[in-house]
Amino acid sequence: MIKTTPTKKRLLLFIFFGWILLILGDRVGDLELYQGSFVATYALAITSIILLTGYSGQLSLGHSALMAVGAYTGALSIFNAGLHPVIGLIISVFVAGIFGLILGLVVARLSGPYLAGTTLALAISLPTLANQFPILGGEEGIVFDVGVASARFGDEFSQYKWFFWISALAALIMVWLVANLLSVRYGRTFKAMRDNPVAAQLSGINVGQLKVMAFALSSGVAGLSGGLLVMLISGVSPSAFPLSLSFAVLTGAVVTGLYNLKGVILGGLVLVAIPEIADSLVSRIGGSEGFTTTLPGFLVSALLILAVVFTPNGPGHLLKRHHHKKKV
């Protein structure tokens, strides 16, 4: 009897999941495809948070800045350099990863609130910095159209289907790579550093180097998410990556469960559903323009508080604990 290794099982699972997504891409409408693209994009951003915070123990409150780096890189590669969107996404990963590597070297000695405060300051200051460079489009940003990428597949192949396929495929590949990375020695050393940095240092683990590596990897994943997002909204500007996006992604990670990747799709679904729920509430109860603008942020904040209080380790851990109690 042939034994299936965990890596092979994971590969087969991701292939099966990709096949399901391929079928769904042909069965649902353009609106659902567009929403599904956002789910995949947010799932990637949540993956980057889980990698950095859940596994290496480094709290980031400014992940929208890392996503913006990938977004601007993708926009410049596709719009200015005229490269294919897929190549632009790959460049986004590498540039954001290098940016994260440099940032990691700067903040390697920081932890806890000091690290969180530094990343928060980065997320606040980055839009102001982007406005100072004409090549980045200033406040208006860079606007472009990637619809030509789907034209080669025929008239029946819509732009929204192309968005869904490229987003889902990018998310599947990246999450699979991260899951495999965390299942080997690096995952164990990340956990050791997170649980007890002093003990990890005494056991021979280079904690500083590992922190920098985690920051670079997380930034690369966040950059891919930003590159996908800029394609979905057909442009990039400082206002597209506000501080609220960082808190929304962190909320999605907490709802998912910071210590595993199994529920990242759930987190993406939640982030896509919140604006829809807010619109539904506004249409029913009415309200001023200010209320309409602030309601999604309020819902994200309320969800974060509820998740921290009731399911700090994610719904999967809660269900597992409930099942264990029933067996006992």
Residue 40, CB-side half-sphere exposure with 13 Å CA sphere: 27
DSSP state of 3: P
Tokens of 170: 């990018």
| pLDDT digit string, tens, across residues 303-321 | 777 777 766 666 655 555 5
Q: How many CB atoms lie within 10 A of CB 232?
A: 18
Q: 152-175: b or e for each residue (b if 16 or more CB lie within 10 Å)?
A: eeeeeebbbbbbbbbbbebbbebb
DSSP state of 136: G
**For the chain, what is the radius of gyration of the CA atoms?**
20
Q: How many CB atoms lie within 10 A of CB 114?
A: 11
Least confident range from 42-51, 132-141, 197-206, 259-268: namely 132-141
Burial status of residue 198 (CB atoms within 10 A of its CB: 0-12, 13-18, 19 or more): exposed
What is the residue type of 207? V
Predicted structure pTM score = 0.86
Q: What are phi and psi of 224, to 5 degrees?
A: -65, -40
- Mean pLDDT in residue range 212-238: 89
pLDDT the model gives residue 5: 64
Domain spans in the chain, listed from the N-terminal domain onward: 6-241
- Mean pLDDT in residue range 46-67: 88
Residue whose structure tokens are 């590159």: 227
Per cent of the chain over pLDDT 90 is 14
Work out the mean pLDDT of the chain and round it to a whole number.
Answer: 80
| pLDDT digit string, tens, across residues 156-186 | 667 888 888 889 889 988 988 888 888 888 7
